[in-house]
Amino acid sequence: GEAVRQFMVEFPTSNLTKEMDTHLKAGVTLPDALVVEALEAIMLSQRCQTRGYVLDGYPNTIEQVKLMTELCIIPVQIIELTLSAKEVHWRGTADRHSPDRSLPLHDSAPILDVRLSSYKRNIDVVRSHYQKEHRNWNILEGNRSKWWLNDKCAQLMNEQLKTAQHYLEKRTVGDAASIFGLCVSPDECKNRLRRILSLLPVSLATKHELVDCSFETTMKFTAEYRPGITS
């Protein structure tokens, strides 16, 4: 919602804004394709490029995931917070009476029930997709303290930043750089992997034998090296 509102404020005369405005005035839900297009534009802004971004509660369906993937929008880390329906309603009630609330939100008890139902209906396929394709899905207990959750989220992002930094450092000096943990999909890796490079050269130096790593699906032993990828 915030991304759509921000886009319409920053680009009031764009064709996309006019198209979304037509749907909103008609009282219908915005098509996913328009929402993702607006999201892409906002993510290209200087603020998102320099400070990063957090997608709260999105994507919700596999259709939204596919639209984002087509535009190369791949979340670096996804954090799923597990909460009981009772706790969700309790927190929703507390939020509705919060003095810090600035905008009216769709979080009444009936709407929360609808959203919980949608979540339960779609979460398995969405979770399975990201676990299989990018291995970036993390599950945390939502009933823990906000300090504990903040610390866990910070740890995940720090580890991700270290992984990306290590990759860039290795590539800069021309060394083989591990792509494990960089959200590279199996298909992308397979398309760039040279068949003869599915053998582990490190084992040749240490044990005087080549080990076949083609069975390894986690990319734990996969590295990028000019001009291709070795696994």
Helix H, strand E, coil C: the string for 181-213 is CCCCCHHHHHHHECHHHHEEHHHHHHHCCCEEC
CA-based torsion, 60, 62, 64, 69: positive or negative: positive
Does 191 have pLDDT greater than 80? no
Q: What is the mean pLDDT of the chain?
A: 85
Check if the beta carbon of residue 194 is closer than 8 Å to that of residue 141: no
Lowest pLDDT segment from 92-101, 116-125, 156-165, 198-207: 198-207
pLDDT at 143: 92
CB atoms within 10 A of CB 161: 11
Beta bridge pairs of residue 211: 200
What are 16-34's pLDDT values in tens digits?
999 999 999 999 989 999 9
* Residue pointed to by tokens 């970036």: 136
Rounded to whole angstroms, the Cα distance separating 160 from 153 reads: 11
pLDDT at 131: 94
Question: What tokens appear for 133 in the block?
Answer: 């394709």
Does 210 have pLDDT greater than 70? no
**Mean pLDDT, residues 86-113 taken together:** 84
CB atoms within 10 A of CB 174: 9
Lowest pLDDT segment from 101-110, 115-124, 145-154: 101-110
